[in-house]
Chains A and B, each alone.
Chain A
Amino acid sequence: KQEVTQIPAALSVPEGENLVLNCSFTDSAIYNLQWFRQDPGKGLTSLLLIQSSQREQTSGRLNASLDKSSGRSTLYIAASQPGDSATYLCAVEGPNAGKSTFGDGTTLTVKP
């Protein structure tokens, strides 16, 4: 059974800092890993999707990496802003096609 862990559970940083969120998974037979953002009381918004064959993806100030062999992914946020405050979840699809397992998320607070 795939298990996904996100560390830390919560993070508070001053505006402008670069930060890293971590995601680890137990079964490396994955199809992809997806990072989501969730604002309070809202649905999930996809940020980045890394295919199994890729090592990283970038979108603006966000960079996600994937190391399948070690079962780890990181989400790097550059020059954080108060608008980045949200809960960030990672989801791993696999080993069963179509079946995704989510971590519990990291709640990020960026202070002005």
Chain B
Amino acid sequence: DAGVIQSPRHEVTEMGQEVTLRCKPISGHDYLFWYRQTMMRGLELLIYFNNNVPIDDSGMPEDRFSAKMPNASFSTLKIQPSEPRDSAVYFCASSLGQGRTDLTFAYEQYFGPGTRLTVT
């Protein structure tokens, strides 16, 4: 498998523009995570999906951020309108989570290479 695929790898945009980040999880994985990494705040979980359904979006900073997972092989994270403080590296990760409620099961998260977003 090619691993988790993210696009674009780098994005530079002006304040106020819409930004869409894309992710293709590892085939067969049923959990998908979006993270943001900055020097100030470290790695933060924004939202995660299970079987294409958003489970917890409490980490989404504000209404300007939205995420969708229309099918098991694709997810988007959209920022509209973008602001300079959104500049960060955005990571997508996936894992296989069947049986996750059983504490004897544990599944690794596999991360994509990230999208470095710069908003000027």
Contacts and interface: CB of A to CB of B under 8 A. Distances in A.
Interface string B85-120: 000000101000100110111111111111000000
Interface stretch (B15-23, B42-50, B60-68, B70-78): B42-50
Given A42-B113, A43-B111, A44-B91, A98 B56 contact: yes
A98 B59 CA distance: 13
A34 B43 CA distance: 14
Contact of B111 (A44, A51, A93, A96): A44
B100 A98 contact: yes
Q: Report the contact-size class of chain B (Cβ under 8 Å from the partner).
A: 20 to 34
Interface string A72-103: 00000000000000000101010011111111
Nearest to A29: B103
A43 B112 contact: yes
Interface in A37-86: 42-46, 49-53
29 contacts: A31-B100, A31-B106, A32-B106, A32-B107, A34-B109, A36-B111, A42-B113, A43-B91, A43-B111, A43-B113, A43-B114, A46-B108, A46-B111, A49-B106, A51-B103, A51-B104, A51-B105, A51-B106, A52-B106, A53-B103, A91-B109, A97-B97, A98-B33, A98-B48, A98-B50, A99-B45, A100-B33, A100-B109, A102-B43
Interface of B: 31, 33, 35, 42-45, 48, 50, 55-56, 91, 93, 97, 100-101, 103-114
